[in-house]
Chains A and B, each alone.
Chain A
């Protein structure tokens, strides 16, 4: 049975209100970036101790989620699961949109965003950041080509090849994102090869959570049928990714706990580091892992769409907690300049570094989220990303045809 894709009409008041709302948040974000450039990073909560702050929490989340959002398409094209095939174009669109949002935040947070051209033309090829410039642009290109093979009928025979290339690229991309931290020998929180695969598995969960919400919102908003079967399949998949994330986090901390030299850091993140243990246990573990798993598997909620939407939202909230703990917590813990010794100085050696994000930083981060969502909302109106129906009968027919 052939799947019919159609643009959103996008003429309703609700549609324009949504787009206008997102545009307003985006403008606020741009205003924040402009003010940061005029007055300097002094207006943020970032310091010479906490050098990466809230913008990076948003940006890294969006970039990681971007590669994960492509997963649904990969399952269809690379792993041949026909039931996911109708979702593949939307998955590509969400991936591109999230990456664009994340990169925008990252670039606008630079001390010299006006030198973007330098970043795009002068490279140090030993830098993980420089690799990422290529990985990000390559990702856009691969996904666009992949979308083209899916949406242009003549190109359909190449979908599998393009999908496979995009799948490999996204794995490399998230390896690159994880390695931004993993390749930092100086800091106890990072300095681990585990961060690359851990970020990949995080990306599966975060990207799928975003995808689920976009899918449900788009079908609800446009009044098109969306069957339980495909939706709860995605829910189960989310549970698998959340469980795998949990496993990686467990291994990461167990390894650190085994090494005496890392006990101080583990104590800080898990026990007495103030906001960080709270965000780790309450945010990342309970909100991000345990409650979503419960919602997806518990007999009372496993057949509820509301519960699935709630689980997806909680996974995203947990993701922000995780990014905050990883990025900010990793810097808040002092560098071990003289291991085993107590150190003090005017440059705040040996003390936990405080950080309070400023409104400007949060505005910039939310601006990136708004940009990503606006690209999705607008993309759905101009191109045929959404199947007319994802009702159970369509999904079953698609599955049987394969």
Chain B
């Protein structure tokens, strides 16, 4: 046998060995992953589109009741360090030329065409039939591409182990999360969000939540009667959250 053939056989044998060694653990992982089985509830309906209207003229500057309400409902700590998750935040907006200033709550805008859903490699970011944009905690690999893509900076990455989750709001290290329109309430048949309840309890009544597809809902009636706007409306994302007075 020529030297070249011996060399080649040795090489092919080596490649095969490396290939098998690399494939074995992957095969075992596949087998383990296939074991899981979860029962789903009834699917979300496309006959509704959940939306929110914020009347910034009623929103109190310095008031953060909505933020606290959200934190409590979803089991967030309320910390505001650069690595802490914040699903909703109060933004103070000031026109530097006129000094006109107002404040508003900013959260996931539940876009009809969400950039976060577009860029997510695994489809973990998804939009339900009823318009709620969510992160599937089982599919999120923590690449943070959605955070790069979101024009509203609405998403947070979990930087450390989480131990105090609420049963209805699964959260965990290494995944991305954001406002879910209190999906656990919606799916339990409630029709208000925690931020809205907190705002009402404070007496501001600045937040309306409801079905945008139902012409008789309070939110639809208000949207039909008063001018409202989407933040960064030029992006044409058709957000589920609209603002009055911006």
Contact = CB atoms under 8 A, between A and B. Distances in A.
A13 interface: no
B90 to A, nearest CB: 6
Interface in A310-364: 331, 335, 337-338, 340-349, 353
Contact of A47 (B82, B89, B92, B152): B82
A133 to B, nearest CB: 7
Given A184-B148, A338-B231, A347-B89, A39 B160 contact: yes
Contacts of A338: 93, 231, 246
Contact of A347 (B11, B86, B93, B94): B86
A361 B11 CA distance: 36
A115 interface: yes
A337 B152 contact: yes
B80 interface: yes
A345 B84 CA distance: 14
A111 interface: yes
A133 B35 CA distance: 25
B145 A47 contact: no
Given A40-B160, A48-B156, A118-B139, A112 B175 contact: yes
A14 B86 CA distance: 53
B119 A129 contact: yes
Interface stretch (B120-128, B185-193, B216-224): B120-128
Interface in B15-74: 26, 29-30, 33, 67
B94 A183 contact: no
A262 interface: no
Q: Please classify the interface of chain B as helix (H, G, I), strand (E, B), loop, or mixed, using the class held by over half of its residues.
A: loop
A113 B102 CA distance: 42
Contacts of B86: 48, 346-347
Interface string B84-122: 111001111111100000000010000000010111111
B147 interface: yes
A42 B150 CA distance: 22
A316 to B, nearest CB: 25
A51 B148 contact: yes
Interface residues of A, number: 52
Interface string B135-154: 00011111111011111110
Contacts of A184: 115, 119, 148-149
A37 B173 CA distance: 9
Contacts of A39: 160-161
A48 B94 contact: no
Contacts of B145: 127, 129, 180
A123 B119 CA distance: 11
B174 interface: yes
Contacts, number: 175
A342 B123 contact: no
A48 B142 contact: no
A122 interface: yes
Contact of A128 (B82, B94, B119, B122): B119
Given A47-B82, A337-B231, A347-B89, A119 B148 contact: no
Nearest to A347: B89
Interface in A103-145: 110-113, 115-119, 122-124, 126-130, 133
B174 A112 contact: yes
B235 interface: yes
A114 to B, nearest CB: 9
A127 B121 contact: yes
B142 A349 contact: no
* A interface, over-half SS: loop
B174 A111 contact: yes
A401 interface: no
B14 interface: yes
A51 B90 CA distance: 21
Interface residues of B, number: 60
A186 B149 contact: yes
B153 to A, nearest CB: 5
B174 A342 contact: no
A130 B235 CA distance: 23
B82 A48 contact: yes
A49 interface: yes
A41 interface: yes
B240 to A, nearest CB: 17
A184 to B, nearest CB: 6
B241 interface: no
A118 B94 contact: no
Nearest to A349: B91
Given A111-B142, A341-B94, A344-B91, A183 B83 contact: no
Contacts of B160: 39-42
Given A42-B160, A111-B175, A347 B80 contact: yes
B156 A111 contact: no
A185 B91 contact: no
Given A41-B159, A51-B148, A110-B143, A345 B120 contact: no
Contacts of B147: 48, 51
B176 interface: yes
Contacts of B156: 48
8 contacts: A48-B84, A111-B141, A113-B141, A122-B122, A185-B115, A186-B151, A337-B106, A337-B151
Interface of B: 11, 14, 26, 29-30, 33, 67, 80, 82-86, 89-96, 106, 115, 117-123, 138-145, 147-153, 155-161, 173-176, 231-232, 235, 246
Q: What 5 A-B pairs have minimum CB-CB distances, sorted nearest first?
A: A111-B142, A111-B174, A129-B121, A186-B151, A47-B82
Interface of A: 37, 39-42, 46-49, 51-52, 110-113, 115-119, 122-124, 126-130, 133, 180, 183-187, 331, 335, 337-338, 340-349, 353, 382-383
Given A41-B160, A112-B141, A346-B80, 18 more contacts: A37-B174, A41-B174, A47-B159, A52-B148, A111-B175, A118-B122, A118-B139, A123-B121, A129-B120, A129-B143, A185-B149, A337-B153, A341-B93, A342-B95, A343-B91, A343-B92, A343-B94, A347-B89
